[in-house]
Chain A
Amino acid sequence: MPRVCNRRGMDLKDDAVKGIVPWDGTLSSFDFSLSAHTFSDKWKRFNPSFPAWKWITCPKQHHLVASHKVEGYLSLENMCHIKSSQEQESDRSLTWKEESNISQREEPFDKATLVCPEHEVNHYDFHIVYSASYRVPVLYFRSYRSDGQLLPFNEIEKDLPGHSAKLRSESKWTFITHEEHPYLNRPWYKLHPCGTSDWMKLLFHSDSSLNKNGFVIEQYLISWFSVIGQVVGLKIPLEMLDTVVSNDS
């Protein structure tokens, strides 16, 4: 008997086969928005030192129909990656820091400043967008210098964790690709989603306690990001994955 997960949003006919068709690791755009709000709430609660993920609604023309569910995506912007000599000694673990005060870099006791007077700060924007084709979330990102100049990928590569940079060099055209942002009409980098549904299915099947009606959907994006975030060096605290806390709230 294959394990099954219920998906919200199925129509009446699909209910007839409820519990029979195995879940394929995908979610609908409606479930994506549910999962996105759970994700951003938990991120805010357990990751207070980081900026919040914000829900951005679609361009204005989508508001023409009030009754239609508003589409959107999650956005985490202006994350700063500060290079330092200490980092080069480590295993290229990223140091992410929110730039809330631009004059902060001028403080005389800033360690990075002391070590490297001409240090660079790379800014990163991350967006989580739903793919209607693959029916899974997709991570888009871009990077720019403090003066707003976009960073070429060979510079971004230096900021990636070692394993990601290696994997990217091996599959240049299919792992991280340069594509147009679906809503912003601008070039962004995209983590290719074609294998996502397969490993999401595996991820949830390995944890039987998650096979509860509706729970998989809410937890989807947190689990997804626990894998995807590591590609770009963003880890999530274990508390975000704690199902007990979620059950109590």
Chain B
Amino acid sequence: MSEAQKHVWEGAIPLQIHLHESEVTTLPPPPPALVLAPRLGYLPLLISLLKPQFSSTLPPGVDTIWFEYKGLPLKWYIPTGVLFDLLCVEPERPWNLTVHFRGYPSNILLPCEGEDSVKWSFINSLKEAAYIINGNSKNVMNMSQTDQVELWGSVLNGNLETYRRVASKLKLGTFEDEYMENVSSVLIKSPQSPGDTDVTGQVKTGRIPVRLYLWTVNEEFDDFEDAPQIDNWDKVSYINRPVEIYKEDGKYFSLNDAVKRILPEFFPENSFVTEGDANINQIEEGESSSDPGSSCNTLEIAEIKFVRVQGIEPILDIPFSWVVNNLMNPEYFLHMCVCLKVSKSNAVQ
């Protein structure tokens, strides 16, 4: 258990939650709720704290809780900490959110049937991560009911110790097992999937579950306070794409390398090195490499302004294995918020 993991699990965001004015039926309006929300948790789980405070002022109707920040409905299945990192480029403390119990925007937001929806969103993500890492989801599918309840309970209660004990049964800890302090020897070894034939000279690969929230800007801003506001989810590209890593002796794979590999459309030089999930065909590769001028031009398309993970912006040279082992979420996904600066003519804004 690393010190960093403890900090991540204890991570919390101070929220100041206001009831939307259209749902206030009493004078004076109720004061906002002050809540310390776990980074690794999910907003709908806060209902047990909010309902008692606001229920006496709500108009008649069925409760379906949802949140918004400056008019943007918040996706409940994204962990609270990730939403904060993405939407508050300059951290706002407390983070002012608006809560609704009526008028669910079902054309934009996935419906949420309380804790069950959140739990199963989590379990399905865990299955997906298991598939990425092991090549199958069997250990998650075969989890006993007791373990499932205990695992979800550990996430609800922020109990890292219980979580580690139950999660170890899923045998997804390959990265932690291989972790080494020495930077020069940090390697990520491919987990041996069941039935995999071990052949001499076979390239060993590891796939790492990553969810990347990409935001592109075309303006230069020195201070985060000057960053443009994300007021529309279409301005964020959600990229659910594993990072595929090849073991190379004597080299380490940095966070910078990982981000560029996930985004070959912005960093095409990386897609020449390997044909992972972001694949290109032979002809195109030939054409591009034969034209140095063209290659130079494509390299200038984007610049990484920042990468934010669990509320911190690691130096891009940091070994990716450290980031994964210490900063991933309980469902075994590394959630990264990435801001790219693209040249003006190509910006999506």
Contact = CB atoms under 8 A, between A and B. Distances in A.
A65 B265 contact: yes
A59 to B, nearest CB: 8
Interface in B105-119: 106-111, 116
Nearest to B333: A133
Given A173-B120, A182-B238, A22 B195 contact: yes
Contacts of A187: 106-111
Contact of A65 (B209, B242, B287, B298): B298
B195 A133 contact: no
B131 interface: yes
B201 interface: yes
A182 B302 CA distance: 23
Contacts of B201: 13, 16-17
B278 A29 contact: yes
Interface in B270-284: 271, 274-275, 277-281, 284
A86 interface: no
Contacts of B202: 16-17, 21
A30 B234 contact: no
Given A17-B201, A21-B199, A180-B75, A61 B265 contact: yes
Nearest to B202: A17
A28 B287 contact: no
A220 to B, nearest CB: 15
A132 B277 contact: yes
Interface in B168-214: 195-197, 199, 201-203, 209
B265 A132 contact: no
A178 B136 CA distance: 22
A37 B298 CA distance: 28
B88 interface: no
Contact of B197 (A22, A186, A192): A22
Contacts of B342: 64
A21 B193 CA distance: 12
Interface string A151-186: 000000000000000000000011001111010011
A61 B217 CA distance: 12
A9 interface: yes
Interface residues of A, number: 42
Nearest to B236: A185
A174 B128 CA distance: 12
B238 A11 contact: no
Main secondary structure on chain B at its contact with chain A?
A: loop
A18 to B, nearest CB: 11
B124 A174 contact: yes
A135 interface: yes
A67 B266 contact: no
Interface in A184-198: 185-187, 192, 194, 198
B348 A60 contact: yes
Given A11-B274, A17-B199, A173 B123 contact: yes
A62 B111 contact: no
A133 B331 CA distance: 14
B32 interface: no
Given A61-B348, A135-B277, A194-B137, A182 B268 contact: no
A224 interface: no
Nearest to B282: A9
Interface in A1-55: 9-11, 13-14, 16-17, 20-22, 24, 28-31
A182 B241 CA distance: 11
A114 interface: no
A186 B107 CA distance: 7
Interface string B246-286: 00000000000000000011101001001101111100100
Nearest to A135: B277
Nearest to B201: A16
5 contacts: A14-B203, A67-B284, A177-B124, A186-B108, A187-B110
Interface of A: 9-11, 13-14, 16-17, 20-22, 24, 28-31, 59-62, 64-65, 67-69, 132-135, 150, 173-174, 177-180, 182, 185-187, 192, 194, 198
Across the A-B interface, the 8 shortest Cβ-Cβ residue pairs: A30-B279, A173-B120, A61-B348, A132-B241, A67-B288, A13-B203, A187-B110, A132-B277
Given A17-B202, A133-B209, 4 more contacts: A24-B135, A67-B287, A173-B124, A187-B109
